[in-house]
């Protein structure tokens, strides 16, 4: 069974690697966005799915990464690949500053603090016009290489998922899940919960920073309302929940199913599509708390490394 | 930036702070109530406030009803909505991990916000009633804020009296102090949950109706109010009802001070910074005792 899955994985990756050679511009763009959502949903999963600490402002890291990378490219002339990593680093620094105090708190405090963080980052980015262009936004030099961004985004999605695999199957991951189940017990067993949560949070913030940087490069133009909308956080959460939070492949599955549906059906109905996302959250929490993968696991006894 | 501070300016900051602070106290009392009895942070609290604002807007524009009279409609309607939400959904996650209740109310909030966007679009809407200000000496009182202050104080006092003096209010307080003991003493905890959610929603709706007259409204306004209400109960100590009243006043003053010395834009960032600092020093809030 393990070899079948591994084989399918290698075959799938090979096909995705060759895909831009045969696909249309729209096709490449479609997959690029799918990769973006996989990486984002997976990054939310790393903190919220594993530790139970809900981040309602994860888009703050996406936006911070986008602006950091945007400034590095537009002002300092960095190559987009290095700039995106810089975006990830900036997000991790922000995560440290905010996570160090807030992760010591009980879950609900953390959740709302993160909701505030996103608002505050948007306000700050609009306020410091000299650096960010304020409400007018920031334009990057033109680039004709969305295929390169396709590979970079795919690599990021793959890296975060591989990281999720590594963490979930490790002792570190087990400790994080212990915190989710019973934090007091975890503490009593000698787990340094504050430090574990902080590490998970830093890893979880780095990825959306890189994704934000690649997004900025791909779009060529960023503005506060485009990179700090609550809608991005909502989408990450819905995708991770729908596929199955706390699992390795759940966020990937959720992102794939929902992104395809969204592109093919709902994109035409802007508000209805958001309302539908709200309804999905409600239904999943009430009736399918472990997501699609959870239901499949119950029915088919899938191996643990799924 | 050098600002010459005169006594009149100080007076203006304090007056404005208290005027908006009373409103914060009323709205946050609802959130404190839900958190107190159910241990649920209701992320949809600000959304209910937004619905209250739209109720007032709609009645004003369609039927020309006096916006303050529409409180008599928005409060009972949102009370019923709150009760329905509790009965159908929130009840199922009360004892579940907090991840579930947070995500559930988040989902409810998104669904409601977008239903309103479908109905009213995202455009800014306003209720043009009572504009202008009352000038007393060097201090200006915005008329709509003054009336809102009056209503907020009256409604808050009424709610507070209800909690302190009535049998049902005592049942609510008993449940927040210890649901198990309350149950043993004959309190119908399920009914307390139901009514607490209803009352909290009515308080939020009152806030919405009053805000609609003061500033332009739009479907996503609720998020900021959820955050502010939470800030208030953190400042005052979560689950501590007098603390919510004090916290509201504090937030009003802090915001006015920040927008006076910095800019209105940055006052939100300052409020956030204060939240983080308070949580760092006192994780249970300024008046909070017990960490739960």
Per-residue pLDDT tens digits for A75-116: 888 888 899 999 999 999 999 998 888 887 776 788 888 888
Q: Where are the beta strands (DSSP E) in chain B?
A: 133-136, 139-142
pLDDT at A295 over 90: no
Contact criterion met (CB below 8 Å) for B233 and B27: no
Which of helix, strand or coil describes residue B273?
A: helix
Separation of alpha carbons B129 and B119, rounded Å: 23
**φ/ψ (deg, to 5) at A102:** -75, -30
Q: How far is A97 from chain B (nearest CA, A)?
A: 10
Contact B133/A at CB under 8 A? no
Average of pLDDT values for B188-198?
92
Q: Do A112 and B265 touch (CB under 8 A)?
A: no
Q: Would you call B108 and A278 a contact, using CB atoms and an 8 Å cutoff?
A: yes
Chain B 217-236, residues with CB within 8 Å of chain A CB atoms: 220, 223-224, 226-227, 230-231, 234
pLDDT band of residue A257 (cuts 50, 70, 90) is: very high
β-bridge mates for residue A67, sequence order = none
Least confident of A105-114, A230-239, B225-234: A105-114
The residue-averaged pLDDT of B249-276 equals 83
Q: A286, B223: Cβ pair inside 8 Å? A: no
Locate all alpha helices (DSSP H) within chain A, ordered by sequence: 2-22, 25-44, 50-51, 59-74, 80-102, 107-127, 129-132, 146-168, 171-181, 183-188, 193-219, 224-227, 230-243, 250-264, 270-287, 291-300
Q: Do B89 and A54 touch (CB under 8 A)?
A: no
Cα–Cα nearest to B159, from B91, B223, B242: B242
Among the listed residues B172, B143, B166, the one whose alpha carbon sits nearest the alpha carbon of residue B68: B143
This model of the complex carries an ipTM of 0.85
A101: nearest CB among B35, B100, B279: B279
Q: What is the pLDDT of residue B290?
A: 47
Q: Higher model confidence: residue B62 or residue B77?
A: B77
Using a CB-CB cut-off of 8 Å, the residues of chain A touching B251 are: none
* B132 band by pLDDT with thresholds 50, 70 and 90: confident
CA-nearest residue of chain A to B220? A230
The strand pair at B139-142 and A221-222 is best described as: unpaired
Does B280 score more than 90 pLDDT? no
Structural tokens at position A120: 């505050």
pLDDT for B278 beyond 90? no
Token readout for A303 is 């191996």
Write down the pTM of the prediction.
0.88
**Under an 8 A CB cutoff, do A285 and B226 touch?**
no
In A204-263, the residues whose Cβ lies within 8 Å of chain B are: 230, 234, 237, 241
Q: What is the pLDDT of residues B1-28, one digit of tens each?
A: 456 678 888 888 888 899 999 999 999 9
CB A151 within 8 A of CB A13: no
Q: Which of A123, A275, A280 sits opposite B114 (nearest CB)?
A: A275
* Strand, helix or coil for residue A151: helix
pLDDT at B227 over 50: yes
pLDDT score recorded for residue B265: 75
Token pair of B280, please? 């760092």
Q: A44 contacts in B (CB within 8 Å)?
A: none
Q: Going by C-beta distance under 8 Å and a sequence separation of 6 or more, which residues neighbour residue B136?
A: none
Determine whether the interchain pair A271/B269 forms a contact, defined as Cβ–Cβ distance below 8 Å: no
Residue whose tokens read 């502010």: B228
B208 neighbors B51 (Cβ within 8 angstroms): yes
Average pLDDT of the segment spanning B106-114: 93
């Amino acid at each position: 069974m393990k070899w079948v899955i591994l084989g399918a994985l290698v075959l799938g990756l090979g096909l995705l690697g060759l895909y831009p050679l045969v696909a249309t511009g729209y096709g490449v763009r479609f997959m690029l966005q799918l990769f973006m959502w996989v990486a984002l949903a997976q990054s939310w999963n790393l903190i919220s799915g594993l530790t139970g600490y809900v981040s309602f402002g994860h888009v703050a890291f996406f936006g911070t990464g986008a602006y950091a990378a945007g400034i590095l490219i537009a002002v300092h002339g960095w190559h987009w690949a290095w700039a995106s990593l810089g975006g990830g680093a900036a997000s991790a620094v922000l995560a440290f500053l905010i996570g160090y105090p807030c992760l010591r708190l009980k879950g609900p405090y953390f959740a709302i603090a993160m909701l505030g963080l996103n608002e505050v980052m948007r306000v700050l980015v609009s306020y410091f016009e000299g650096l960010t262009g304020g409400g007018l936004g920031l334009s990057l030099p033109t680039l004709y290489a969305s295929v390169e961004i396709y590979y970079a985004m795919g690599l990021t999605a793959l890296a975060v998922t591989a990281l999720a695999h590594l963490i979930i199957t490790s002792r570190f991951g087990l400790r994080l899940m212990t915190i989710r189940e019973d934090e007091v017990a975890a503490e009593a067993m000698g787990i340094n919960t504050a430090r574990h949560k902080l590490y998970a949070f830093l890893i979880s913030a780095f990825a959306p920073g890189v994704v934000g940087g690649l997004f900025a490069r791909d779009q060529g133009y960023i503005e506060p309302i485009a990179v700090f909308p609550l809608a991005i956080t909502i989408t990450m959460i819905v995708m991770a929940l729908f596929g199955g939070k706390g699992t390795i492949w759940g966020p990937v599955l959720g992102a794939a199913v929902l992104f395809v549906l969204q592109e093919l059906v709902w994109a035409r109905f802007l508000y209805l599509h958001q309302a539908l996302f709200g309804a999905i959250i409600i239904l999943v929490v009430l009736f399918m708390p472990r997501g699609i993968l959870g239901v499949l696991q119950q029915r088919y006894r899938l191996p643990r490394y799924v | 930036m050098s600002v010459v501070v005169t006594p009149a300016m100080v007076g203006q900051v304090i007056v404005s702070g208290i005027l908006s602070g009373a409103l914060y106290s009323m709205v946050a009392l609802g959130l404190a109530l839900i958190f107190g009895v159910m241990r649920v942070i209701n992320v949809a609290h600000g959304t209910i406030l937004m619905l209250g604002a739209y109720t007032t807007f709609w009645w004003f524009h369609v039927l020309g009803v006096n916006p303050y009279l529409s409180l008599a409609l928005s409060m009972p309607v949102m009370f019923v909505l709150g009760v329905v939400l509790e009965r159908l959904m929130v009840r199922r996650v009360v004892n579940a991990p907090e991840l579930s209740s947070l995500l559930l109310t988040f989902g409810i909030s998104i669904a409601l916000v977008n239903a309103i966007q479908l109905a009213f679009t995202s455009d800014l809407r306003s209720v043009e009633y009572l504009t202008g200000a009352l000038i007393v000496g060097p201090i200006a009182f915005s008329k709509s804020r003054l009336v809102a202050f009056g209503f907020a104080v009256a409604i808050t006092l009424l709610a507070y009296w209800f909690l302190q003096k009535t049998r049902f209010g005592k049942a609510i307080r008993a449940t927040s102090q210890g649901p198990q003991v309350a149950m043993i003493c004959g309190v119908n905890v399920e009914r307390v949950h139901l009514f607490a959610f209803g009352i909290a929603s009515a308080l939020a709706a009152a806030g919405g109706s009053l805000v609609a007259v003061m500033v332009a409204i739009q479907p996503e306004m609720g998020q900021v109010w959820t955050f502010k209400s939470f800030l208030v109960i953190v400042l005052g100590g979560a689950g501590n009802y007098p603390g919510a009243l004090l916290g509201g006043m504090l937030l009003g003053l802090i915001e006015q001070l920040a927008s006076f010395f910095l800019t209105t834009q940055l006052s939100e960032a300052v409020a956030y910074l204060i939240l983080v600092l308070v949580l760092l020093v006192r994780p249970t809030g300024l008046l909070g005792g017990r960490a739960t």
